[in-house]
Amino acid sequence: MNTLEAINSRRSIKHYQKDYQIPEQELEQLLSLAVLSPTAYNIQNWRFVVVKDKALREQLRVAAWDQAQITDASVLIVLCADLNAWKKQPERYWANAPVETQQFLLPMIEQYYQGKDSVQRDEAMRSCGMAAQTLMLSAKAMGYDSVPMDGFDFNKVAELINLPEDHVISMFVAIGKAEKPAFPRGGQLPLNQVVIENTFT
């Protein structure tokens, strides 16, 4: 399936085939594609918590108000971000770049993030959003379905996955084989209601 087909056919699926398991090799492929998603200054601040433990999945389902896709989908990913990724050995992010590029960019990373909590969090959420879309479109292209989720108790989930203090949770992404199709699209706003040329009037 090409990219345009994946975009057009991707839907948020809530009901999954409980017994279907995505092969480990394909899961690794999905994650390898997800980490190609862009991040500011290439700090790669997303963290993908792939929940495989069935008991933990049950606990997460309770924290998500008993939504079935938490346990029924083949894969559940808690998409998080490290707010301090920018200062954790930032030379890693440009290890393959020329020395001149490293000398130029590494100080810029510190200047951009140092002491700016809102910038750190905003970038974390932007990065996770792009990674989530990459996951979902890649899954669709590979013949799977998915759903992004923020309907859960963030504090409880943080406790269950032992989230580090300097990390935040962005969303869940559940991936698997649909048990039944999504409802028809509710309706898309026309472009002239969402596309603004140059400035708002």
- State the sign of the Cα–Cα–Cα–Cα dihedral 53, 55, 59, 62: positive
Give the pLDDT confidence of 105-133 residue by residue, as tens digits: 999 999 999 999 999 999 999 999 999 99
Question: Could you give the C-alpha distances from 38 to 59, 72, 73, 140, in angstroms and in order?
Answer: 32, 30, 26, 20
Q: At what angle do helices 117-141 and 24-34 cross, to 10 degrees?
A: 140
Ordered by where they begin, the domains of the chain are: 3-194 (3.40.109.10)
Average pLDDT, the chain: 96
Burial class (CB in 10 A: 0-12, 13-18, 19+), 78: buried
pLDDT band of 183, cuts 50, 70, 90 = confident
Q: What is the pTM of this model?
A: 0.95
Q: Specify whether the CB–CB gap between 34 and 131 falls below 8 A.
A: yes
Q: Has residue 1 got a pLDDT over 90? A: no
> What does the block give as tokens for 58?
């049950």
Residue 201: predicted pLDDT? 87
Give the pLDDT confidence of 62-91 residue by residue, as tens digits: 999 999 999 999 999 999 999 999 999 999
